[in-house]
């Protein structure tokens, strides 16, 4: 069996692209499934950290006008962003800024190769791969969250951002919504224009929300306006003990989401339903957690919020908001929000005592 940490280190030290494909083929053949997922996720994480180091290095030079010596400069990252990559510390201390630029190219190739390789595997393999990947991502997002909340950064400071780093997973989920033409643009939808990555919650938001919600076994999770289903798929893989339902009024998106759910055998506990949530006759089902991206017109918000408020009077629930959806939650029905990512992600809890 090949161990990915030493292989990754070797690849970075050799620093060249010529034999990379051959090396990756051998690694992919002899590595364990668990190590393959960690290799993939750590390579993507490493690329984001290196980009952050390059940006910070450039800023320091710009601000001070003094040449910044790389081996000294990089030390501050060892106990922070580079902490999960202890096995690469000696590589960083012996490298230089040109090495960082080459590493970005090498890591981009690794990401491309592995994503094609994983897509060629069976659904069961992909499922296990995604589950291990999401667990590793959860720890990395948590580290990013801790680092960014600990030090107050100034506007314009270089900042590690994993927000879109792992979007390549969409290719494994076959959520190729950037290419997906929805025939009819529904005028009632606020955020349709430019649909694609911009209108899906990132994996970072979803995984962090799930981590901090810490829902009890058997809890129900409802996504109001579920789009292409990223949230449900992540919930289904990470928490097979939860019941997830996503409501979405664009039928094509519901079909894409249900297809992915069935592909990974999640369809016993992850369902996507075609439903216009602004229909006053629709009853939002009881759940322990509801998720709302800022998806609705004012008219739809009025209908949906009234129903959630009614639910909040009888049950202990948490509404998770992304973006400006939080503006609709600042009223007497809901607690003050628990905030993450500078308020981009919020948890609002019902004020009412649960009925026993
Ligand atoms: C911004 S996307 C969010 C997708 C997913 N919840 C996420 O965070 O990744 C919002 C989705 O809400 C859907 N939507 C908007 N108004 C709706 C309504 N009245 N009923 C059902 N779905 C609606 C849109 O079609 C869109 O796919």
Nearest to 15 by CA among 129, 112, 91, 117: 91
Tell me, what's the pLDDT at 40? Answer: 97
- Read off the pLDDT band of 205 (50, 70, 90): very high
Q: What is the Å distance from ligand 1's center to 79 Cα?
A: 40
The continuous run of DSSP H or E covering 273 comes out as: strand 270-274
The atom of ligand 1 lying closest to the CA of 276 is 20
Beta strands in 39-113 (DSSP E): none
Tell me, what's the pLDDT at 86? Answer: 96
Nearest to 294 by CA among 284, 281, 304: 304
Residue nearest to atom 26 of ligand 1 (CA): 227
- Read off the pLDDT band of 256 (50, 70, 90): very high
57 neighbors 70 (Cβ within 8 angstroms): yes
Whether ligand 1 lies within 6 angstroms of the CB of 248 is answered as yes
123 burial (CB, 10 Å; 0-12 / 13-18 / 19+) is exposed
- Read off the pLDDT band of 251 (50, 70, 90): very high
In whole angstroms, give the CA distance from residue 124 to residue 222: 26
User: What rounded mean pLDDT belongs to the chain?
Assistant: 90
Whether ligand 1 lies within 6 angstroms of the CB of 244 is answered as no
Whether ligand 1 lies within 6 angstroms of the CB of 300 is answered as yes
Evaluate if residue 173 carries a pLDDT over 60: yes
Tell me, what's the pLDDT at 16? Answer: 72
Average pLDDT on 225-250 reads 96
Q: What is the Å distance from ligand 1's center to 282 Cα?
A: 16
The atom of ligand 1 lying closest to the CA of 277 is 20
Whether ligand 1 lies within 6 angstroms of the CB of 304 is answered as no
Whether ligand 1 lies within 6 angstroms of the CB of 253 is answered as yes
pTM of the model: 0.91
Evaluate if residue 221 carries a pLDDT over 50: yes
Tell me, what's the pLDDT at 149? Answer: 83
Average pLDDT on 29-54 reads 95
Tell me, what's the pLDDT at 192? Answer: 44
Tell me, what's the pLDDT at 194? Answer: 40
- Read off the pLDDT band of 198 (50, 70, 90): very low
Task: State the number of CA atoms in the 13 A half-sphere of 120 facing the CB.
Answer: 8
Q: Which residue has the higher pLDDT, 200 or 283?
A: 283
Q: What is the pLDDT of residues 262-291, one digit of tens each?
A: 999 999 999 999 999 999 999 999 999 999
Average pLDDT on 300-319 reads 95
Average pLDDT on 99-121 reads 95
- Read off the pLDDT band of 295 (50, 70, 90): confident
Percent of the chain at pLDDT > 70 equals 90
Q: What is the Å distance from ligand 1's center to 277 Cα?
A: 9
Evaluate if residue 197 carries a pLDDT over 60: no
DSSP, res 156: T
Tell me, what's the pLDDT at 248? Answer: 94
Please give the C-alpha separations between residue 34 and each of 19, 84, 127, 216, in angstroms, as whole numbers.
Answer: 24, 16, 12, 27
- Six token digits for residue 157: 């400071």
The continuous run of DSSP H or E covering 127 comes out as: helix 123-150
Q: What is the pLDDT of residues 120-156, one digit of tens each?
A: 999 999 999 999 999 999 999 999 999 988 766 665 6
């Amino acid at each position: 069996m090949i161990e990915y940490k030493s292989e990754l280190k070797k690849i970075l030290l050799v620093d060249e692209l010529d034999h990379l494909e051959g090396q990756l083929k051998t690694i992919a053949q002899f590595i364990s499934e668990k190590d393959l997922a960690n290799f993939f996720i750590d390579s993507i994480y490493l690329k984001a950290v290196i980009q952050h180091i390059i940006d910070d290095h450039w800023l320091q030079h710009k601000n001070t006008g003094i040449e910044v010596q790389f081996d000294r400069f990089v030390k501050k990252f060892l106990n922070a962003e580079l902490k999960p990559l202890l096995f690469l510390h000696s590589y960083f201390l012996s490298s230089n800024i040109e090495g960082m630029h080459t590493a970005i190219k090498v890591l981009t190739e690794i990401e491309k190769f592995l994503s094609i390789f994983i897509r060629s595997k069976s659904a069961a393999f992909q499922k296990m791969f995604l589950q291990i990947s999401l667990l590793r991502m959860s720890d990395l997002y948590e580290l990013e969250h801790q680092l960014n909340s600990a030090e107050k950064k100034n506007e314009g400071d270089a900042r590690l951002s994993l927000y879109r780093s792992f979007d390549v997973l969409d290719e494994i989920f076959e959520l190729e919504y950037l290419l997906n033409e929805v025939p009819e643009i529904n005028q009632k939808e606020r955020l349709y224009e430019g649909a694609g990555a911009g209108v899906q919650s990132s994996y970072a938001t979803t995984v962090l929300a799930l981590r901090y919600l810490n829902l009890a076994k058997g809890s129900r999770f409802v996504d109001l306006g579920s789009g292409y289903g990223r949230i449900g798929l992540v919930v289904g893989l990470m928490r097979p003990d939860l019941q997830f339902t996503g409501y979405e009024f664009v039928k094509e998106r519901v079909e894409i989401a249900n297809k992915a759910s069935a592909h990974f055998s999640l369809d016993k506990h992850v369902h996507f339903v075609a439903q216009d949530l602004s229909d006053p006759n629709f009853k939002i089902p009881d759940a322990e957690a509801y998720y709302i991206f800022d998806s609705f017109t004012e008219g739809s918000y009025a209908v949906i919020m009234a129903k959630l408020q009614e639910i909040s009077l009888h049950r202990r629930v948490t509404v998770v908001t992304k973006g400006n959806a939080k503006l609709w939650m600042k009223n007497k029905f809901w607690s003050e929000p628990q905030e993450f990512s500078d308020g981009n992600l919020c948890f609002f809890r019902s004020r009412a005592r649960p009925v026993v």
